[in-house]
Amino acid sequence: MSRVTKLAAITAVSAAAVALTATPAWADNWTNGPFTATANSSSLVVKVGGTTVATCSGSTLTGNMTDTGAFSVTGATATGCGVTVTPTGFPWSGSFTSGTTQINGFKMSALGCTYTGNLSGSYTEPAPPAIVTFTDQPVTGSGLFCVSNVTVSVTYVFTQP
């Protein structure tokens, strides 16, 4: 084996070892503990068939974050919606992975209907504050006289104390 080939092989093995032992970028930015996500100025928008039927002036999520990007939503609010909107079914699980944020088990009740779904959005930064945008995410309604083709859009800013 030539000296150049040996040097290239050593460099490749060293790079692989560093890649395998490096701490994920997420862990450098977040800590295990509480988080708060506050809706920005776009707030929480509910559409039926593409037509906006409700815009809430405020929304928050609270819960616990891990340094790996997994989180649990243990509380939520939706205010200024024109009707009473009640988040339920906690905890909701979530994760930040490769530019995508997922919230599973999303559940809110309004006007005698309960809307559930899994929200998938994108984030701008793996470090706090992380801006997460969910756009036209479908939710399914259950209850008497619930409408179908409902979507939820919201942008949250995730922070830690």
Does some domain include residue 128? yes
Does residue 15 lie within any of the structural domains?
no
Q: If we measure between CA atoms, which residue out of 154, 156, 148 comes closest to residue 50? A: 148
Each residue of 28-73: pLDDT tens digit?
Answer: 578 899 999 999 866 788 888 888 888 899 999 999 999 988 999 9
136: domain CATH number is 2.40.160
Work out how many domains the chain is built from and give that number: 1
Task: Assess whether pLDDT exceeds 80 at residue 14.
Answer: no
93 lies in a domain? yes
Is the residue at 141 inside a domain? yes
What is the percent of the chain with per-residue pLDDT over 70, rounded to a whole number?
A: 81
Average pLDDT of the chain?
Answer: 83
Q: Give the contacts of 3 (CB within 8 A, at least 6 positions apart).
A: none
- Asked if residue 92 belongs to a domain, the reply is yes
Is 96 among the domain residues? yes
**Does any domain span residue 14?**
no
* Torsion angle (degrees, nearest 10) of CA 80, 83, 89, 93: -40
45 falls within a domain: yes
Query: Which range has the worst mean pLDDT, 63-72, 78-87, 123-132?
Result: 123-132
Host domain of residue 108: 24-159
